[in-house]
Amino acid sequence: MCERIRVVVADDQNISRGFFEMYVRASARYELTAALRTAQEAVDYVDGHEADLLILDVMMQEGIDGLSAAAKIKQKRPSLKIILTTSTSETSWEEKARAIGVESFWYKEYDDHSLLDIMDRTVGGESVYPAEPPRVSFGRIQRSELTERELDVLRELTASLTNEEIAEKLHISVNTVKRHLQNIMEKTGFASRLELAMQARFLSLVVHEDDRVRKE
């Protein structure tokens, strides 16, 4: 009989972590070696224990986030396969994950593929990323109908930045910021920048970097 694949899961949400544990334990192919609550615990664990696959959530309420943890782990354990997961629809993290060398990326709420399928394909040598962005309704449109620059502006808006601050952050003019916000409101049907920001945060449509990367 072949040795089972050793899996570590890390998620600060009890329900999600329990879901991951259930999937791993339900398969004769995998062995759960640790179920952890923080990304830093995952970094520390794989530094001192053997593991073949790490399932790691991006957003953590405490300590470092999953992307930062994955970067640290890949520096020391490049052969350890990682699946990053998220319950948000923030697509900018996919590019960051690829750059780090993360094998696969899975949207908990929006992916048509099961986690077990992603696990099997990842340990089989595939790099599995979504073929298209999550389908999320935002006012009158789908998230995918917003341009990347409109999403950039919206992401900064969720942090309560002024037009001037958004312009400085994105290296564009204030008038360009205003035009993007007007375009978003016309597309979505929302009446104000406050409503835009509130709905984007409520839906986790985009996630500001400050909300992902927390102080240790």
pTM here? 0.90
pLDDT tens-digit readout, 143-190: 999 999 999 999 999 999 999 999 999 999 999 999 999 999 999 999
Positions of the chain with pLDDT lower than 50, given as ranges: 1, 215-216
Judged by phi (left if over 0) then psi (alpha if -120 to 50, else beta), residue 149 lies in alpha
Distance CA 156, CA 163 (A): 9
pLDDT value, residue 169? 95
Partners of residue 141 on adjacent β-strands: 138
Q: What superfamily would CATH give domain 5-123?
A: Response regulator (3.40.50.2300)
Q: In whole angstroms, how far apart are CA 114 and each of 11, 20, 72, 80, 121? A: 17, 11, 27, 21, 11
Only one residue has tokens 């099961």, namely 114
Q: Domain-by-domain residue ranges, the chain?
A: 5-123, 137-212
Q: How many CA atoms lie within 13 A of 155 on its CB side?
A: 23
In words, the CATH class of domain 137-212 is mainly alpha
**Alpha carbon distance 100, 19 (integer Å):** 26
